[in-house]
Amino acid sequence: MRPRIPNLADYGISPKHGFLPDVLPLTRLPDPYYNKWEAIAANLQNLILSKRLRGVIDRLPVLSTVGLEHDAEWRRAYTLLTFFAHGYIWGGDTPCDRVPPSISVPLLEICKHLEVPPVSTYAASVLWNFKPLFMDEDIDDLDNLATLLTFTGSLDESWFYLVSVAIEARGGPIITLMLDAVAAARRGDSATVTRCLCTFAERLDDLGALLRRMHESCDPGYFYSRIRTFLAGSKNMAEAGLPHGVMWDDGTGRSEYVQYSGPSNAQSSLIQFFDVILGIEHRPTGEKADVSSETERGRRGSVPKHNFIRDMRRYMPGPHARFLNDVGGVANIREFVEARSATDPPLAIAYDACLSMLRAFRDVHIAIVTRYIVLPSRANRARSRSRSPETVRKSQQQQQNLATASRNADQKKVKGTGGTALIPFLKQARDETGEPAVSEWTRRFMSRQVKTSGSNDFFLGKSDDVVQEEPVVEHGLAGSWAIDDDVGGICHY
């Protein structure tokens, strides 16, 4: 018996807004019992700027979660406490590897309720952290959005989150659309599947246009030096000052260190839904496709054990992650198109158009990573080279965090190379998007390697005359980039 096509209501997913909540995020917890949390939120940027946040949180009493009733209240509490925690960890001259019980105790209970990890996630910074400026206008309009909470109070940080909010809202109707396509494929209704795929491709083009607006109000230099620090998690952060990760002190004396990645758009359930519904497979980084092998064909539809996609689902709200797993069990669009491509050209063209639009979307993302991560990282490294070793040493003794770790010239082959490993990593995910194309010409066109004059990458600049690099752990947007052959992964989108 075929599995049932998932019902969005069973997973708390909106037919109109997708993974954004149907009930708008609360701007404040209604119970006065939580006024102390809200007071910190109202002054978060000033407390971070004055380096007094830790003192305030250390004096904060442990509040109970009993007063949290509706899901919107639990989500608001999660957003508040994860922002407080990241501000506490990264908001001083040196990072702090212990979060006190005043944050840890209620946060761990909230995380259990929402099925999310105790760290700032894409859900906390994007899905549950926005409000419309005008209630009579839609939230898929980027110019009608504002954030509820930021670390810096800057327009740049708000814009960085809100671009993703608008993408989630604009892409929300695609979920219902493509589940209808799955049902149509089961009936053998090629015309409906073709129509759904055409609409999907058009909407993907809209999402790319939204992503291209990132540069309008988010400055790359400010993002790299000020915002990125607070988005770091506790995984692979030894050079930034967290060799063991972070301890969420629950007051029992038995707390242990844990490591989590920070918020990343790889945690977007919407983008992963696109891959799942189209049958796109992502391999471990550096692994080539072997389309002729039985192993490759037999693995279709499964997710490798060591896979960045699977790992990022741990950071999604539990119902959203379960939805993706269940969609993977019913996704049939790729097989349906492959079986009919020779006799139904419009169907094949529509499917390939979706792959092309999603690939173009990832191209835009690569350009953003280059501008916001790669180039500032190279500039930081160049500046550190111009300073004397003694000056660098004194500076690092005075302050240690993610930003200063990135400037460490001695560690350039471990964590300071910016996009040297990131770009091939992202390009592989981009190229994998085009591999299922049914038209040989389309597949060849999307897998083409663009040749440029000269031997160096235009964006990355001249390559260093050094030996082969070690596997890179890069902090980037997500705060955790493990680029080992046996780990694998995809780009943020």
Cβ contact 326:8 at 8 Å: no
H or E stretch at 332? none
Q: Which residues face 147 on adjacent strands?
A: 130
365 assigned ligand-binding residue: yes
- Which amino acid is present at 155? L
HSE-CB of 288 using CA atoms within 13 angstroms: 4
| Cβ neighbours for 30, distance < 8 A, ≥ 6 positions apart | 73
Phi, psi for 223 (deg, rounded to 5): -60, -45
Q: Is 130 helix (H, G, I), strand (E, B) or coil?
A: strand
CA–CA gap between residue 461 and residue 107 (Å, rounded): 44
Q: What amino acid is encoded at 226 in this protein?
A: R
Q: Alpha-carbon distance 265 to 280, whole Å? A: 18
Question: Could you tell me which of 236, 227, 233 has the C-alpha nearest to residue 261?
Answer: 233
Phi, psi angles (nearest 5°) of residue 93: -65, -30
CA 49 to centroid of chain Cα atoms: 26
Which amino acid type is present at position 8?
A: L
CB 422 within 8 A of CB 474: yes
Query: What is the DSSP-derived secondary structure letter of residue 455?
Result: S
459 phi and psi, to 5 degrees?
A: -80, -35
- Indicate the annotated binding residues: 365
Residues within the annotated binding site for heme b? 365
